[in-house]
Amino acid sequence: MLLQNSEKLVMIGDSITDCERKRPYGEGLFGGIGKGYVSLVDALIQSTYPERGIRIVNMGTSGDTVRDLEERWASDVEALKPDWLSIMIGINDVWRQFDQPTIQESHVYPEEYEATLRELVLRTKPQVKGIVLMTPFYIEPNKDDAMRRRMDEYGAIVKRVAEETGSMLVDTQAAFEPVLRDIYPATLAWDRVHPSAVGHMVLAKAFLKAVGYTYG
Protein backbone atom coordinates (compact mmCIF):
# COMPACT_ATOMS: atom_id res chain seq x y z
CA MET A 1 0.00 0.00 0.00
CA LEU A 2 1.18 3.52 -0.83
CA LEU A 3 0.61 4.99 2.64
CA GLN A 4 3.64 4.33 4.81
CA ASN A 5 4.56 4.51 8.50
CA SER A 6 3.27 7.51 10.47
CA GLU A 7 1.89 9.25 7.39
CA LYS A 8 -1.20 11.46 7.47
CA LEU A 9 -4.08 11.27 5.02
CA VAL A 10 -6.55 14.16 4.90
CA MET A 11 -9.88 13.42 3.17
CA ILE A 12 -11.88 16.49 2.23
CA GLY A 13 -15.26 16.92 0.56
CA ASP A 14 -18.96 17.52 1.18
CA SER A 15 -21.63 15.68 3.19
CA ILE A 16 -20.68 12.31 1.72
CA THR A 17 -17.29 12.74 3.35
CA ASP A 18 -18.51 14.63 6.44
CA CYS A 19 -21.00 12.07 7.82
CA GLU A 20 -21.23 13.72 11.27
CA ARG A 21 -17.50 13.96 11.81
CA LYS A 22 -16.08 15.78 14.83
CA ARG A 23 -15.29 19.52 14.74
CA PRO A 24 -12.94 21.19 14.11
CA TYR A 25 -11.00 18.11 13.03
CA GLY A 26 -12.57 14.81 12.10
CA GLU A 27 -10.65 12.29 14.15
CA GLY A 28 -10.50 10.85 17.64
CA LEU A 29 -12.77 8.77 19.85
CA PHE A 30 -16.55 8.32 19.77
CA GLY A 31 -17.06 8.54 16.02
CA GLY A 32 -14.78 11.53 15.54
CA ILE A 33 -13.95 10.43 12.02
CA GLY A 34 -17.61 10.26 11.02
CA LYS A 35 -19.87 7.39 9.99
CA GLY A 36 -19.22 7.13 6.26
CA TYR A 37 -16.62 5.87 3.80
CA VAL A 38 -13.80 7.71 5.60
CA SER A 39 -14.45 5.69 8.75
CA LEU A 40 -14.46 2.48 6.70
CA VAL A 41 -11.18 3.40 5.04
CA ASP A 42 -9.71 4.11 8.46
CA ALA A 43 -11.03 0.89 9.98
CA LEU A 44 -9.75 -1.30 7.15
CA ILE A 45 -6.32 0.34 7.08
CA GLN A 46 -5.90 0.24 10.88
CA SER A 47 -7.01 -3.39 11.10
CA THR A 48 -4.81 -4.59 8.22
CA TYR A 49 -1.75 -2.37 8.72
CA PRO A 50 -1.80 -1.57 12.47
CA GLU A 51 1.99 -1.32 12.62
CA ARG A 52 2.06 1.64 10.22
CA GLY A 53 0.31 4.08 12.53
CA ILE A 54 -1.41 5.87 9.66
CA ARG A 55 -3.40 8.96 10.69
CA ILE A 56 -6.58 9.76 8.78
CA VAL A 57 -8.38 13.08 9.24
CA ASN A 58 -11.88 13.73 7.91
CA MET A 59 -12.35 17.34 6.77
CA GLY A 60 -15.64 16.97 4.91
CA THR A 61 -18.30 19.67 5.35
CA SER A 62 -21.94 19.13 4.41
CA GLY A 63 -23.24 21.30 1.59
CA ASP A 64 -19.82 22.26 0.28
CA THR A 65 -19.03 23.02 -3.33
CA VAL A 66 -15.54 23.40 -4.78
CA ARG A 67 -15.99 27.13 -4.16
CA ASP A 68 -16.37 26.41 -0.44
CA LEU A 69 -13.30 24.17 -0.45
CA GLU A 70 -11.24 26.99 -1.88
CA GLU A 71 -12.32 29.31 0.94
CA ARG A 72 -11.20 26.89 3.67
CA TRP A 73 -8.23 25.31 1.92
CA ALA A 74 -5.52 27.08 3.93
CA SER A 75 -6.99 26.09 7.32
CA ASP A 76 -8.47 22.69 6.48
CA VAL A 77 -5.78 21.26 4.21
CA GLU A 78 -2.53 23.19 4.13
CA ALA A 79 -2.38 23.89 7.87
CA LEU A 80 -2.77 20.16 8.58
CA LYS A 81 0.34 19.32 6.50
CA PRO A 82 -0.90 16.00 5.10
CA ASP A 83 1.33 13.48 3.37
CA TRP A 84 -1.61 12.36 1.25
CA LEU A 85 -4.78 14.15 0.23
CA SER A 86 -8.10 12.84 -1.04
CA ILE A 87 -10.66 15.17 -2.62
CA MET A 88 -14.26 14.27 -3.49
CA ILE A 89 -16.30 17.32 -4.46
CA GLY A 90 -18.86 18.21 -7.10
CA ILE A 91 -22.18 16.75 -6.05
CA ASN A 92 -23.48 20.04 -4.64
CA ASP A 93 -21.95 21.96 -7.53
CA VAL A 94 -24.35 19.98 -9.73
CA TRP A 95 -27.26 19.50 -7.31
CA ARG A 96 -27.82 23.21 -6.67
CA GLN A 97 -28.51 23.58 -10.38
CA PHE A 98 -31.44 21.19 -9.94
CA ASP A 99 -32.85 21.70 -6.45
CA GLN A 100 -32.65 25.50 -6.51
CA PRO A 101 -32.50 26.38 -10.21
CA THR A 102 -33.51 30.02 -9.75
CA ILE A 103 -30.80 30.80 -7.17
CA GLN A 104 -28.07 31.01 -9.74
CA GLU A 105 -25.44 32.48 -7.43
CA SER A 106 -25.34 29.09 -5.66
CA HIS A 107 -24.50 27.28 -8.90
CA VAL A 108 -20.95 26.30 -9.73
CA TYR A 109 -20.79 25.76 -13.48
CA PRO A 110 -18.23 23.55 -15.23
CA GLU A 111 -15.74 26.28 -16.09
CA GLU A 112 -15.45 27.49 -12.49
CA TYR A 113 -15.48 23.94 -11.15
CA GLU A 114 -12.62 22.83 -13.37
CA ALA A 115 -10.51 25.95 -12.88
CA THR A 116 -10.90 25.89 -9.10
CA LEU A 117 -10.25 22.17 -8.72
CA ARG A 118 -7.16 22.36 -10.92
CA GLU A 119 -5.83 25.36 -9.00
CA LEU A 120 -6.27 23.61 -5.64
CA VAL A 121 -4.55 20.47 -6.88
CA LEU A 122 -1.62 22.33 -8.43
CA ARG A 123 -1.29 24.53 -5.34
CA THR A 124 -1.10 21.48 -3.06
CA LYS A 125 0.77 18.94 -5.19
CA PRO A 126 4.29 20.12 -4.22
CA GLN A 127 3.44 19.78 -0.52
CA VAL A 128 2.24 16.16 -0.52
CA LYS A 129 3.33 12.71 -1.65
CA GLY A 130 0.15 12.15 -3.60
CA ILE A 131 -3.39 13.33 -4.31
CA VAL A 132 -6.41 11.13 -4.92
CA LEU A 133 -9.25 12.71 -6.87
CA MET A 134 -12.63 11.01 -6.47
CA THR A 135 -15.32 11.82 -9.01
CA PRO A 136 -18.73 13.05 -7.89
CA PHE A 137 -21.49 10.51 -8.45
CA TYR A 138 -25.25 10.14 -8.78
CA ILE A 139 -26.75 6.81 -7.74
CA GLU A 140 -28.87 6.43 -10.86
CA PRO A 141 -28.15 3.86 -13.59
CA ASN A 142 -30.05 5.77 -16.29
CA LYS A 143 -27.37 7.84 -18.04
CA ASP A 144 -30.10 9.90 -19.74
CA ASP A 145 -31.42 11.18 -16.41
CA ALA A 146 -30.76 14.93 -16.45
CA MET A 147 -28.83 15.08 -13.17
CA ARG A 148 -26.89 11.88 -13.92
CA ARG A 149 -25.92 13.31 -17.30
CA ARG A 150 -24.74 16.55 -15.70
CA MET A 151 -22.86 14.67 -12.96
CA ASP A 152 -21.04 12.65 -15.59
CA GLU A 153 -19.84 15.93 -17.13
CA TYR A 154 -18.30 16.93 -13.81
CA GLY A 155 -16.85 13.44 -13.41
CA ALA A 156 -15.15 13.85 -16.78
CA ILE A 157 -13.63 17.11 -15.53
CA VAL A 158 -12.17 15.31 -12.50
CA LYS A 159 -10.69 12.66 -14.78
CA ARG A 160 -9.12 15.34 -16.96
CA VAL A 161 -7.65 17.21 -13.99
CA ALA A 162 -6.30 13.95 -12.55
CA GLU A 163 -4.59 13.09 -15.81
CA GLU A 164 -3.16 16.58 -16.32
CA THR A 165 -1.81 16.85 -12.77
CA GLY A 166 -0.59 13.29 -12.29
CA SER A 167 -3.10 12.62 -9.53
CA MET A 168 -4.62 9.25 -8.75
CA LEU A 169 -8.25 8.80 -9.82
CA VAL A 170 -11.18 7.02 -8.23
CA ASP A 171 -14.12 6.76 -10.63
CA THR A 172 -16.89 6.43 -8.04
CA GLN A 173 -19.66 6.35 -10.64
CA ALA A 174 -18.04 3.32 -12.26
CA ALA A 175 -17.69 1.71 -8.83
CA PHE A 176 -21.45 1.91 -8.31
CA GLU A 177 -22.37 0.42 -11.69
CA PRO A 178 -22.09 -3.31 -10.84
CA VAL A 179 -23.99 -2.79 -7.58
CA LEU A 180 -26.78 -0.92 -9.36
CA ARG A 181 -27.37 -3.88 -11.65
CA ASP A 182 -28.95 -5.72 -8.72
CA ILE A 183 -29.87 -3.10 -6.12
CA TYR A 184 -32.50 -0.42 -6.75
CA PRO A 185 -31.05 3.13 -6.49
CA ALA A 186 -33.36 4.22 -3.66
CA THR A 187 -32.14 1.24 -1.63
CA LEU A 188 -28.58 2.55 -1.84
CA ALA A 189 -29.59 6.20 -1.41
CA TRP A 190 -33.14 7.47 -0.93
CA ASP A 191 -32.23 10.75 -2.64
CA ARG A 192 -29.71 9.09 -5.00
CA VAL A 193 -26.93 11.09 -3.35
CA HIS A 194 -26.45 10.17 0.33
CA PRO A 195 -25.48 6.49 0.40
CA SER A 196 -26.42 3.73 2.79
CA ALA A 197 -23.69 1.78 4.57
CA VAL A 198 -23.48 -0.40 1.46
CA GLY A 199 -22.91 2.66 -0.70
CA HIS A 200 -20.23 3.97 1.63
CA MET A 201 -18.50 0.58 1.46
CA VAL A 202 -18.50 0.85 -2.34
CA LEU A 203 -16.71 4.20 -2.02
CA ALA A 204 -14.25 2.90 0.58
CA LYS A 205 -13.32 -0.15 -1.50
CA ALA A 206 -12.79 2.00 -4.60
CA PHE A 207 -10.52 4.37 -2.68
CA LEU A 208 -8.53 1.57 -1.09
CA LYS A 209 -7.99 -0.10 -4.46
CA ALA A 210 -6.52 3.16 -5.80
CA VAL A 211 -3.94 3.36 -3.01
CA GLY A 212 -2.87 -0.26 -3.34
CA TYR A 213 -4.55 -1.68 -0.26
CA THR A 214 -4.52 -5.46 -0.01
CA TYR A 215 -6.75 -7.36 2.40
CA GLY A 216 -4.82 -9.22 5.04
**Is it the case that residue 216 has pLDDT exceeding 90?**
no
Query: Does residue 162 form part of some domain?
Result: yes
Residue 3 located in a structural domain: no
In a domain, 1, yes or no: no
Average pLDDT over residues 73-79: 98
> 178 burial class (0-12, 13-18, 19+ CB within 10 angstroms)?
exposed
Split into its structural domains, the chain has a count of 1
What does DSSP say about strands 8-13 and 84-88: parallel, antiparallel, or unpaired?
A: parallel
Catalytic positions:
15, 191, 194
Under a CB-based contact definition with an 8 Å cutoff, are residues 136 and 154 in contact?
Answer: yes
**Is this model's pTM higher than 0.85 or not?**
yes
According to the model, what pLDDT value does residue 35 have?
98
CATH code of 81's domain: 3.40.50.1110
pLDDT at site 21 = 98
Q: Is residue 107 situated within a structural domain?
A: yes
Kindly state the average pLDDT of the residues 33-40: 98
Q: Is residue 2 a part of any domain in this protein?
A: no
**Per-residue pLDDT band at 157 (split at 50, 70, 90):** very high
Domain range for 43: 8-210
Instruction: Identify the band that residue 215 occupies on the pLDDT scale cut at 50, 70 and 90.
Output: confident
Determine, yes or no, domain membership for 80.
yes
Q: What is the pLDDT of residue 145?
A: 97
Which residue from 172, 170, 196, 168 is spatially nearest to 184, judged by alpha carbons? Answer: 196
Q: Give the tens place of pLDDT for each residue, 106-136.
A: 999 999 999 999 999 999 999 999 999 999 9
